[in-house]
Amino acid sequence: MRTQLNSWLKTAQAVSVFALLLFTAACKKDDNKLASGETASANAVKANAIGVSGPKGVCYVEVNNSDLRNVGRYKLASGQQLFDIAIIFAANINYNTSTQKAELYFNQNVANVLNNKATYIQSLQSKGIKVLLSILGNHQGAGISNFPNQAAAQAFAQQLSNAVTTYGLDGIDFDDEYADYGTNGTGQPNSSSFVYLVSALRQLMPNKIISFYYYGPAASRLSFNGVTVGSKINYSWNAIYGSYAVPNVPGLSKANLGPAAIDITTTSGATAASLATQTVNNAYGIYLYYNLADGDYHSYLSNVSNVLYGQPTVYN
């Protein structure tokens, strides 16, 4: 839960991971790419990953108070980037009471990042880091779970796709919080909304990343008329920081799931290391970091990287 508004190589010992690193320093965390003509399913569409063999690092940044570029300042001792995916937290779903439609909204801090894409987005992409935009409710009654029909979901998906194209993003992340369903006369969550939304977005963005922060009404509404959200998205991860819980998203393999989640500013180093150990032992493909703030956290992050990759983290 937010505290504010807002196959894999299986290793039994960290030593064996480190040995592998020395032998294949340029190895990717996931070298699978979408082949030409390949269907856009959860297991076919992969991020073009960076770093060493092991789980991908996914990092949310609260851009209202922290610099997105911090994600690119952390590397492993061998030189690879620590994080594979950076997520801009967050854009919003607003509700236009005149048109009775959902609208994509950027506050001034998010807008600053997007409008200065060369500085914030492309600088990370040049290091191999994928950059996603998180989509969050805004207390106005509109959210990913209450589109009243397929056309409404498709219209909002088009707004998202347009933003990805305009700002050169690598994809969209969905977070079903703070919608306050029912406000402004809006409907309550329904079973078709999220499926319609991700289906439309996948059609518009066959080669981009779509992820789901496993929380909120959408987490219990993942299939409709035989179509599953897991067949349309790439990744899903646990939303409770300091805990280990596997998201129940049918259609996603272990490689596409992140049961471990930490808040860098509040989760203890010992807990972060324990969650990393569970991730490796159970062969899951994602480790989720939230709230990378300004400053130097390399010592803390080494608690995780030493377990996941057999190397400490360094800070540039």
* Residue 46 lies inside a defined structural domain of this protein: yes
- Please give the distance of CA 315 from its chain centroid, rounded to a whole number: 22
Query: What CATH number should be reported for the domain holding residue 164?
Result: 3.20.20.80
Pull the structure tokens for residue 66.
Answer: 């922290």
Q: Is residue 254 part of a domain?
A: yes
Q: Report how far apart, in Å, the C-alpha atoms of 273 and of each of 62, 82, 264, 309, 314 are.
A: 23, 15, 12, 12, 17
> Is residue 5 situated within a structural domain?
no
Largest pairwise CA distance in the chain: 62
- How do residues 263-286 score in pLDDT, each as one tens digit? 999 999 999 999 999 999 999 999
Q: How many CA atoms lie within 13 A of 168 on its CB side?
A: 15
At position 99, the amino acid (one-letter code) is: T
User: What's the total number of domains in the chain?
Assistant: 1
Q: pLDDT per residue over 206-262, tens digit each?
A: 999 999 999 999 999 999 999 999 999 999 999 999 999 999 999 999 999 999 999
Q: Which of 38, 62, 103, 177 is catalytic?
A: 177
The answer to whether residue 177 is catalytic is yes
**186 within some domain:** yes
Residue 7 placed within a domain: no
Per-residue model confidence (pLDDT) at position 44: 37
Residues 149 and 105: beta-carbon distance below 8 Å: no
- Domain extent for 97: 14-315
pTM of the model: 0.87
